[in-house]
Chains A and B, each alone.
Chain A
């Protein structure tokens, strides 16, 4: 039995293809059951996100299985010619599949390394397959282990630690200035898209209130309602600044809206309570000189961008450590997967029996010195027969089930019951296909 993966992702396919092939929530169960109906597919899971569509399956004959999955993808999207799909696909087998899934779940293969969504998506895909009973021993263990590995990567490295978007970076900085955002007020001046996003993030981080100020007062009212905040007239925003703690500025003005002297005056009236300015407008709307005023902190879009870049760099470094963890877990899983093979189990079982027989025979013969060579031979034959008779049924059952998913269960049970150690030679490792 082999594990195969046929899929495409943001690395190989443009969004037009990805969106065509993706399975949305309600279509996924139907898709997975349809796939399951192919005779060649033993187990299957479909992982479909906006960045990837991947089909995981266990099959008897990998080439045939891959062809079936391709047929399936084509059948789901008949308008798309098969060649058009095929050219974006990547195909992995066995160890390649294991490594790929572990990396995906650990967010090492994501567009933004270390993002947290993918793990949930992997879990959902697995749950859907479980619910529709399309998985068995191998894929169950594979997906559980991938989730386990992802969690290990997350806790043992700092891959998901720091903000990698401008608006999150702004919130993170606010947390280094103010200990508790719950008793702080934010203000949004202007209504640029990025500014709105940053304000939304402040709200999500539990800030007490957002004051919105805009040249267009109605727009300010709308936004204020959105954040459960309060609107202020554009003429009054300087006045408001005495009482707010975080100012997000993103107007379309071509000049400085907030000037040095004004801030100096405000900070004096605030009795030096810190004030955090985030200027996400281009051209800048806040005089950069104000960063020199005590208790005033000003970050413009470039500053935030460089924070994000530093954090991304850290994530990449941490991803290296993540790769080591993945490699370790892939090694363990591959070992387990190979040990499932029925033939090595049969050999190991026979060896174990023969070993016991010989040992016991030697011991007994040591005590029965008076026997003639003929009698020794008879006893030897007798023990042999007993072993063979005992082993006959189990071996037949194992061989019979060797090619079904049940066979794996049998093999595993036998290994545990007889404490068999199965040596897997490294040479047998099948390489990756692509």
Chain B
């Protein structure tokens, strides 16, 4: 089970990178910037390898149970972080993204990890495409959520005139708001594609495009929420603090749709 070995290396690397990013958050100095990036890179590479090997070992896209979904979510989150870093260089973002990645990955590692034979019903390329879109969308919304949290912190520092280490490390409000907006305008089409490919697959598997399964219903609610959020920004200027709050509420919805629905509600979407 080579994929599990690389998965564990990634987990270890993300643990170190979380620790080093959190240290830089409280340290007066710049902190071990290079180390943080390097170890994150190591984690990402070995995680990528783990996913590739698992795809080969399982002979299908490995997003078919909760462990795999959480693992892929963590991977997408770090991918998003690395892309944002490349463009914006918001070093402090790592102090927010990496802890979330680590939590998600360690939860994933607590779940059954072995590759199982796939239910014949699930054997369709649409399934893989559907889950990839849906989870990458969730990762983008998570970035928007973190940008929202950072925005609210920075806004509070500026309004209450408190100038601490975190204030000096956080970027400008403008930039955080832009990050929030960009992340959502990226996540929204992914979610849309996720819903569309999901219903195409549902047609194959169940013979119907839409059957108001709780997961489908909640995805639709999310879709409407984020559509409304984008619309209100463009038409009514709901930016800044309001957008930050909305990104946080949206994330709660994402987590519920992703995890909560399976635990609390009964439906056909039992796997992921």
Contacts and interface: CB of A to CB of B under 8 A. Distances in A.
A173 B158 contact: yes
B236 A271 contact: yes
A88 interface: no
Contacts of B242: 272, 294
A273 interface: yes
A330 B172 CA distance: 41
Contacts of B159: 291, 297
A364 interface: no
Interface string B111-142: 00000000000000000000000000000000
Interface string A324-354: 0000000000000000000000000000000
B237 A271 contact: yes
Contacts of B158: 173, 176-177, 297
Nearest to B175: A179
Nearest to B158: A297
B26 to A, nearest CB: 15
B167 interface: yes
Contact of A272 (B29, B154, B172, B237): B237
A19 to B, nearest CB: 37
Interface in B138-171: 154, 158-159, 161, 163, 167-168, 170-171
A306 B161 contact: yes
A261 B176 CA distance: 28
B241 A294 contact: yes
Contacts of A173: 158
A168 to B, nearest CB: 14
A177 B239 contact: no
Nearest to A307: B163
A271 to B, nearest CB: 3
Contacts of A233: none
Nearest to A157: B29
Contacts of A176: 154, 158, 167, 170, 172-173
Contact of B239 (A162, A273, A299, A307): A273
B148 to A, nearest CB: 14
Interface string A186-209: 000000000000000000000000
A178 B28 contact: no
Interface string A351-376: 00000000000000000000000000
Interface string A263-282: 00000001111100000000
A321 B170 CA distance: 25
Interface string B77-101: 0000000000000000000000000
A293 B28 CA distance: 32
A297 B156 CA distance: 10
B103 to A, nearest CB: 29
B178 interface: yes
A270 B174 contact: no
A303 interface: yes
B237 A177 contact: no
A270 B172 contact: no
Interface string B232-267: 000011111110000000000000000000000000
A358 B133 CA distance: 85
Contacts of A306: 161
Interface string B5-46: 000000000000000000000001100000000000000000
A152 interface: no
Nearest to A317: B28
B52 to A, nearest CB: 37
A143 to B, nearest CB: 29
Nearest to A156: B29
A178 to B, nearest CB: 5
B105 to A, nearest CB: 31
A11 interface: no
Contacts of B170: 176
Contacts of B240: 272, 274, 294-295
Nearest to B171: A179
Contacts of A270: 237
A151 to B, nearest CB: 17
A259 interface: no
Interface string A127-164: 00000000000000000000000000000001000100
Nearest to B28: A158
A231 to B, nearest CB: 27
A175 B173 CA distance: 9
Contacts of A310: 163
B178 A295 contact: no
B174 A177 contact: yes
A91 B237 CA distance: 66
Contacts of B168: 162
A177 B163 contact: no
Interface in B172-209: 172-175, 178
A404 interface: no
A433 to B, nearest CB: 38
Nearest to A298: B159
A273 B237 contact: yes
Interface in A226-277: 270-274
B173 A271 contact: no
A265 to B, nearest CB: 14
Contact of A303 (B161, B167, B237, B238): B161
Nearest to A184: B174
Contacts of B163: 307, 310
Interface in B204-238: 236-238
Given A177-B173, A299-B161, 16 more contacts: A176-B158, A178-B173, A178-B174, A179-B171, A179-B172, A180-B174, A270-B237, A271-B239, A274-B240, A294-B241, A294-B242, A295-B239, A303-B161, A306-B161, A307-B161, A307-B163
30 contacts: A158-B28, A158-B29, A162-B168, A176-B158, A176-B170, A177-B172, A177-B173, A177-B174, A178-B173, A179-B171, A179-B172, A179-B174, A180-B174, A270-B237, A271-B237, A272-B237, A272-B240, A272-B242, A273-B239, A274-B174, A291-B159, A294-B240, A294-B241, A295-B239, A297-B159, A299-B161, A303-B161, A306-B161, A307-B161, A307-B163
Interface of B: 28-29, 154, 158-159, 161, 163, 167-168, 170-175, 178, 236-242
Interface of A: 158, 162, 173, 175-180, 270-274, 291, 294-295, 297, 299, 303, 306-307, 310
